[in-house]
Structure 1
Amino acid sequence: MNRLLLLTCLAVPVAAGAAGQAVLPADVAVPQPAVAPVPQITVSGARANETEQRRNATASKMIFGREELDRNGDSNVGEILKRLPGVTMGGPPGRGGGGVRMRGMGNGYTQMLVNGERPPAGFSLESLAPDQVERIEIMRGPVAEHSTQAIAGTINIVLREGYQQKDIQLKVADSVEAGQHSPSLSLTMPGKQGALTWLLNAGLSGNRQQEQGASLYQDSTPDGSLVRDQTISSHTDRSSRGLQLMPRLSYRFANGDTVNFQPFLFANRSEFNTSAVLTQRAGPSTPEYALAVSNGSASATFLRGFGNWLHKLDDGAKLDVKFGFGGGRSRNDTRRNQYDADGALNGVFVDQDSSRNAGASTGGKYTRSMGKGHQLAAGWDLEALHRTQDALALRDGQSRFGQSGDNVSADTRRLAGYIQDEWDITAQWGVYLGLRWEGIRTAATSGARDIRNTSAVWSPVLHTVWRIPGHDKDQLRASLTQSYRAPQVNDLIAAPSFSEPNSPTRPDRSGNPDLKPELAQGIDLAYEHYIGKSGIVSVSGFVRQIDDLMRRALTTYQANGQTRYLSTPSNVGSARTSGIELEAKMQLADLLPNAPSMDVRANYSRFWSSVDGIPGPDNRIDGQAKQTANVGADYRMKKLPLTLGGSYNWTPAVLVQVSPTERASTGVKRQFDAYGLWKFSQNTQLRVGANNLRNEDYLAGRVVATDTGFESASSTARTYTTWSARLEMKL
């Protein structure tokens, strides 16, 4: 410090002053000492954006944050997922119910996680509000850290976090469909007290919908003559109420350790009323009914807790211990009164189904740096689940079937261990190598039956990225993986599900305790070119070879002196699927310097598949479309605080040869959504949207070949445009 003061005095001319002070002439040059330049250091506390995280990851991962989640003002997460690359949603537009599909592959092939954990049984994405989600992560290939039950890929829903939240956020919304209102309220409130920080997320919602449709049932002889020709026209009014609470607590200890805990409470109640009119134009006998009136209720409550303890060790190592617990219950009650053509009551049907789920899990991850850009990790997962289910089926107060009222109880234990090595060998070449072992044991009782099923799978995975020298915006990816699909508990030991009336196209459903998991070997290749700050153009391809494919087969059985049709799953052989996926998103100004302020995005996927042992040409993976595409754009006006945008989602008709005797089809899906965003101020904005502007009818069908000919069932469901408005405020 003294030397610094001396240098400063020498560098400043001395003026005449008090006695004893030296006075230097003005024209005398004072030598300036040489001072070493201070290097510029830039410190940024900003979190890497989604595109940067994707670019830097060794294993391919797409990340979609709040901008994508808020863009269209969607009412549920399912509506957001349908616009993402390679993702399609089953069921009618705006209704869901058909599950999430990556690469066109149905339920069970796509792994769904919430905060990296399996969601509770019965949890539905259609019930999760986007306001409760922080980001969505999509991994096309399995990684050792998560379960490798991801033949098609993994979608991880990360619930709201608090690392950026400063303001209280309040969102008030209403959506209107066919004149019926569905209001919602969302509140996000951060806080801090000493070493404790928290973020409270709460949501209330009400939903009212109506459903209209018609189903055509026809039986014909081998020569095409109609034996039965029926149409059932139905109308349903449905209402529901939901509550979601997700507080997040984080405590930082003096030694740097951190404990995080995030419980999740979801409760939903719904009621419905349905009237169905049966018209028979041809048939061997009097139809079972002319009018059926049904009413019922459903309730579901889930409580799930996620937490982790992060402990820092010597030499930069750290231990992350996870813990979780959960429980839930659901109940469905339906009463159906049937009337003949004269209006006389000819049957009262009562169906009740209730289930309870409870579980706990723990896991951990030890991470150690092995040098710059080289990280080794190992960990474990342990999960225990218990489930009970009761189903009751009565007609006029009497049990319809011997199995009615049986209690089903199941216990599932899942144990896994893994090790992974992520290493940037050079500045251009990075490698991820992982190995995971996972075992699942299911023990159940159903009536007088004891059921046991055990499976264990080794899953080696290899991911690599090559950042092309001299082209810092271009990189190549490759993956070689093994993944699997485990039988779901319902497919192993579910209480029989009864269909009335029973037929080959409306069979009862049951489980198979001898199911084995499907095993898949896969190769993924991709080229990525990055544009500007958040733009990307990518081309990727994949191949999956699947063994022990699970499919449902149609059989018959005897119950109370009558022959009934039954759908039961079994392992049928091998299958192969492949595809090409194209993606592009960017700001238009990144391509054209004088372009308007507009973001554009598009993706297209083409899929092929075949199943051994089933005749072609449509022997595809069940429900897999041949193609799917999305396009969208957002335009920010310069002279007005207004942003306009829209997106178009297209999935062509699907025709699948499910078995040698059964074909299933769904119609084309074309969905156009649009929105407008007006910013009143930095803290207040209004978002107005319209989903499913085309509101085309949704078509589905099934044809089964029987010993006496053919039976077909085709349905037409009306869809609706949903108009929404949401006021978003920061308080």
Structure 2
Amino acid sequence: MHTYHYSFRLTIIAAAIAAALTANAQEVQAPVAAKPAGQKQNQPEDSTIQKVEVRGSADAYDARRDDTASKIVVNHDEIVKYGDTNVLDVLKRVPGVTVSGGAGRGGEIRMRGLGSGYTQILLNGERAPAGFSLDSLSPDAIERIEVLRAASAEYSTQSIAGTINIVLKKAIKTAQRELKVGYGKGKQINSPTANVQLSDRVGKLSYSVSANVFRSKFYEQADNLEQAFDTTGRQTGLRTTPSNSPSSFTGINISPRLNWTLEGGDTLTSQSFVNIFRFGTTARAHTATLLGDLPPYPDKSQNMTNDNQFFRTDLNWVHQLAAGAKLDMKIGATYGKLANTMYRATGGNPAVEELTRQIDSAGRDRGLNSTGKYTNPLWEGHALAIGWDAGYNTRDDERHERDYLHPSTRIPGADEIYTGYVSRLAVYAQDEWNVTPRWSVYLGSRWEGIRIRAEGNSFGTTHSSSSVWSPILQTLYKLPDTKGDQLRLAVTRTYKAPDLQRLLPHRFTSVNNNQVEPDSQGNPNLKPELALGVDAAYEHYWSQGALFSVAASTRRITDYTRNLVVFDGSRWVSLPSNSGRAQTHSLEVEAKFPLKLWFASAPAIDVRANVARNWSRVDSVPGPNNRLDQQTPLSANFGLDYKAGPLTTGGSFTFKNGGEVRVSHNQIAYVNVKRDLDLYALWKFDPKVQLRVATANLLNQDSVGESSYSSDAGVLRSRTTSLRTPSLRATLEMKF
């Protein structure tokens, strides 16, 4: 009820602001025509500036500066600058974005330091297929990355922290043929890559084909220290577990696109995406007990292979109507296939029988979706749009477990088969209104409903149904008597719905089950998390692409979900649960400019820097450090780019703070401070041939994580240190 009243007050505030804008519009000059999609916002009344803007140059349009909705756009040149082989390494340098983990290790993308689904990841404006890993997406296949700090009605509002939209390459008007071959080498890394891009135009048909092949072999080492203490602080247990994991992943991306220009200005576009990815690892670990009892299985060996195949295709029709109206419709289909084989052998404790188990799992995803948008400039100065987003997905999943030695004491686990059905429907309306030449407003509203049903052999039929109405207000005001100062404000309602996997009550088991290595299980009673948020920003733009911005935000979350570790009578289990309310606040500062802006005789160096500070509090968890989802409290990035003739070089230093997070009354997690230094150099032999050399992780800093559990018996603490090494990559890029 509290959430409803707060949402009602938010609606009243949005309506009052809209009414105020209407009154203000009656006092100023008549609003100008709404800007067409992709064209620049109207500028101040100064006549000189107006003469400059009417040139209509596409290069003059800056989405970040001129769109009413707050947005950061990372173009293709920035994406490939450091020669990264996966998009996770690209995103760690984007302002306000942090990345946990890395390629092949289940890395997670976070805005405002928040993970666990708070950050929405889109592929060409749509949610990525279930099970799709960004590890398998090559940066060369990407045209641009859009970072949306506040929600918009056109996209799903499952974006409490924000939205990252990855747009794949599209067809171009001029012919292009490009080949890139690269090789990366480190003490424990080998990674060859190859990329081909073909684009051309024949009459009214244009096409583009992008293919990327990559392979990486790496060797991971980690050391685990487990300690136990009684209630007096006396140490009762001490174990060390060194482990090593030779691993590899291989992938291929193919992105064909066809575009036809039809009579009357209509366009028909077919775009597909094929992704094939294979990951394999062999992990071996031996636990040495220096104090206390032996664990059930001190010796562990595990071989795992994971094969993912995804295919996605869309057909998009844009129909031009009378009086500038337009209908944009798209239908699409998705097919995914996953297969995982794990062979686990454990032993080493004379009092416990050895266990040798093979786990085979396979899944298949099929989906149909339809999106559409009707736009019509009914009134001068407005860009009205209404649209829909509907989809139906099924997932078949089966897991078979087989023990070879048939021990008398078994770890829980059995064959499981289930089928899940997910249907969703969203309708929205939005209006971009140029109130005055300096003031624009975006008003939007979106209703989104999701229904999930699952049937399995180890649980009864599970149902989940949720719907959320999201009002949205964004406004941009260009300050008078300035050339580049402007203010932004956004008021939004967003949410996070539990996905299918978190709803299913089937269990994944841990070998040495304890408080810090529990089993995991879904919860069919989970409810969506709802968030009411406010974003505000000040931006100052200079010439030569320089900018300075300060952005602040706050979110109030109800039905916050966290993982609780409980004892079910025989084993420890991690279970997601709704746990009251939470608040989060963020402050981001960014600056970028050429050094010549301040010193005319300075070298051609471009400077970019950003820092983000995040705070949060979970009401149901005692402090201190009761932050959301191991939220990153502080992140920063500093970079330089220098150009001299055919040489372009630069570097990027990334900092991510860590510290303790209290997950519950009993649980505490810890992550160490992380620092990354990357350098690159690009040498252009001629307009068609260039060589790119880049380094990664030059500081050679290890990654450390810790978890602890306190109870009436004392404290159990586990600390893992993962070793990392630097690497060097060279890429030859040729156009023909």
Q: TM-score, normalised by structure 1?
A: 0.90
* Aligned residue in 1 for 2:122: 113
Question: Which residue matches 1:348?
Answer: 356
Displacement of 1:170 in angstroms is 0.6
Match runs of 1:634-713 below 5 Å:
634-638=641-645, 641-713=646-718
Are residue 74 (structure 1) and residue 84 (structure 2) matched?
yes
- CA distance in 2 between counterparts of 1:583 and 1:164 reads 34
Tell me how far apart the structure 1 counterparts of residues 685 and 554 of structure 2 sit (CA, whole Å). 49
The corresponding residue for 1:208 is: 217
> Residue by residue, what CA displacement relative to the aligned partner does 1:332-362 show, whole Å, maximum 9, x if unpaired?
11112234379x9932122222211111100
Encode CA deviations 1:285-335: one digit per residue, 9 max, x unaligned: x44344333222111101111331100000000000011110111111111
- Distance change (3 Å), C-alpha of 1:117 and 1:397: farther
Aligned positions of 1:423-502 closer than 5 A: 423-447=433-457, 448-493=459-504, 495-502=506-513
The corresponding residue for 2:7 is none
CA contact 1:390–1:495 (8 Å) conserved in 2: no
8 Å contact from structure 2 (residues 175, 201) kept in 1: no
Letter in 1 for 2:183: D
2:382 to 366, 374, 394: 374
Distance (Å, rounded) in 1 between the aligned partners of 2:328 and 2:649:
43
Count of aligned pairs between the two proteins: 683
Distance 1:346 1:630 in 2: 49
The aligned counterpart of 1:269 is: 278
In the alignment, the residues of structure 2 paired with residue 48 and residue 549 of structure 1 have an alpha-carbon distance, to the nearest angstrom, of: 44
Whether the 8 Å contact between 2:184 and 2:729 is mirrored in structure 1 is yes
2:725 corresponds to 1:720: yes
Counterpart selection for 2:196 from 187, 193, 201: 187
Paired position in structure 2 for 1:503: 514
Partner amino acid for 2:718? A
Q: Are 1:136 and 2:141 an aligned pair?
A: no
CA distance in 1, matches of 2:729, 2:461: 51
- Is 1:608 the counterpart of 2:618 in the alignment? no
Deviations 1:382-432 (A, max 9, x none): 011111222233333659566521112111111000000101110010000
CA distance in 1: counterparts of 2:386 and 2:88, whole angstroms:
33
Identify which of 307, 313, 325 aligns with 1:317.
325
| DSSP-derived class of the 1:580 partner | strand
SS, match of residue 156 in structure 1: strand
- 1:336 is matched with 344
Alignment match, 2:256: 247
Return structure 1 stretches of 4+ with deviation > 4 angstroms.
40-46, 397-403
Q: State the distance in 2 between where 1:445 and 1:228 align.
A: 43
1:535 to 546, 556, 574: 546
Q: 1:402 to 1:219 in 2, by over 3 A?
A: closer
Say which SS state the counterpart of residue 329 (structure 1) adopts.
strand
| Conserved 8 A contact 1:304-1:326 | yes
Amino acid at match of 2:728: W
**How many Å apart are 1:194 and its aligned residue?**
2.8
In structure 1, the gaps of 5 or more residues are 1-39
Relative to structure 1, is the Cα distance of residues 467 and 164 closer, same or farther in structure 2, using a 3 angstrom cutoff? farther
What is the deviation of 1:41?
A: 11
- Once the two structures are superposed, what CA deviation does each residue of 1:504-551 show, in whole Å capped at 9, x if it has no partner? 111111111111111111111101111213221101101111111011
After superposition, where does 1:81-100 map in structure 2 within 5 Å? 81-91=91-101, 97-100=106-109
Q: Deviations over 1:187-208 (max 9, x none)?
A: 0001223322110001111110
| Cα deviations by residue, 1:360-387 (Å, 9 ceiling, x for unpaired) | 1001000011344420000000011111
* Counterpart AA for 1:173: G
Q: Tell me if 1:52 matches 2:59.
A: no
Aligned-residue offset at 1:232: 1.2
Aligned residues with identical type, % of pairs:
39
Q: Partner of 1:291 in structure 2? A: 299
Task: Give distance in 2, aligned partners of 1:59 and 1:673.
Answer: 32
Question: 8 Å contact 1:547–1:573 — kept in the other structure?
Answer: yes
Q: Measure the CA separation in 2 of the matches of 1:351 and 1:397.
A: 14
Q: CA deviation at 1:621?
A: 0.7
State how far apart, in whole Å, the 2-side matches of 1:646 and 1:41 are.
35
Report the alpha carbon displacement of residue 489 of structure 1 after superposing the two structures with TM.
1.3
Give, in angstroms, the shift of residue 679 of structure 1: 0.5
Where do residues 224-235 of structure 1 align in structure 2 (5 Å cutoff)? Answer: 224-235=233-244
- Structure 1, 202-211 or 527-536: larger mean CA deviation: 527-536
Distance 1:689 1:110, change over 3 A: same
For residue 45 of structure 1, report the CA deviation from its aligned partner. Answer: 8.2
Q: Which residue of 2 aligns with 1:4?
A: none
Aligned to 2:394: 386
Moved more, 356-365 or 403-412: 403-412
| 1:462 Cα offset (Å) | 0.1
Could you list the per-position Cα deviations for residues 579-613 of structure 1 after superposition, in whole angstroms to 9, with x for gaps in the alignment?
11001112222232222111110001111111102
Aligned residues of 1:393 and 1:401 also touching (Cα < 8 A): no
Q: 1: distance between equivalents of 2:582 and 2:389?
A: 30
Q: d(CA) in 2 for partners of 1:714 and 1:565?
A: 19
375-384 vs 484-493, which deviates more?
484-493
Q: 1:139 to 1:177 in 2, by over 3 A?
A: same
1:166-216 Cα shifts (integer Å, max 9, x gaps): 320111011112254211110000122332211000111111011000111
Cα deviations by residue, 1:674-695 (Å, 9 ceiling, x for unpaired): 0111000011100000011011
Mapped to 1, the partners of 2:624 and 2:398 lie a distance apart of 41
2:176 — aligned with what?
167
Q: 1:169 to 1:271 in 2, by over 3 A?
A: same
Write the distance in 2 (CA, Å) between the matches of 1:609 and 1:177.
Answer: 38
Higher mean alpha-carbon deviation, 399-408 vs 529-538, is at 399-408
Structure 2 distance, partners of 1:177, 1:194, is 48
Q: 1:363 aligns with which of 345, 356, 371?
A: 371
**Aligned-partner Cα distance in 2 for 1:538–1:505:** 42
Structure-1 separation of matches of 2:56 and 2:343: 59
> Which is higher, the Rg of structure 1 or of structure 2?
1
User: Which amino acid is 1:585 matched to?
Assistant: K
**Residue identity matched to 1:488:** D
Structure 1 counterpart of 2:323, one-letter code: D
Q: Greater shift after overlay, 594-603 or 94-103? A: 94-103
| Distance (Å, rounded) in 1 between the aligned partners of 2:690 and 2:503 | 50
| TM-align CA RMSD | 2.0
Q: Which of 295, 302, 323 is residue 310 of structure 2 equivalent to?
A: 302
Q: Secondary structure of 1:659's partner?
A: coil
Say whether the 8 Å CA contact 1:151–1:484 is kept in structure 2. Answer: yes
Tell me how far 1:63 sits from its aligned partner: 0.5
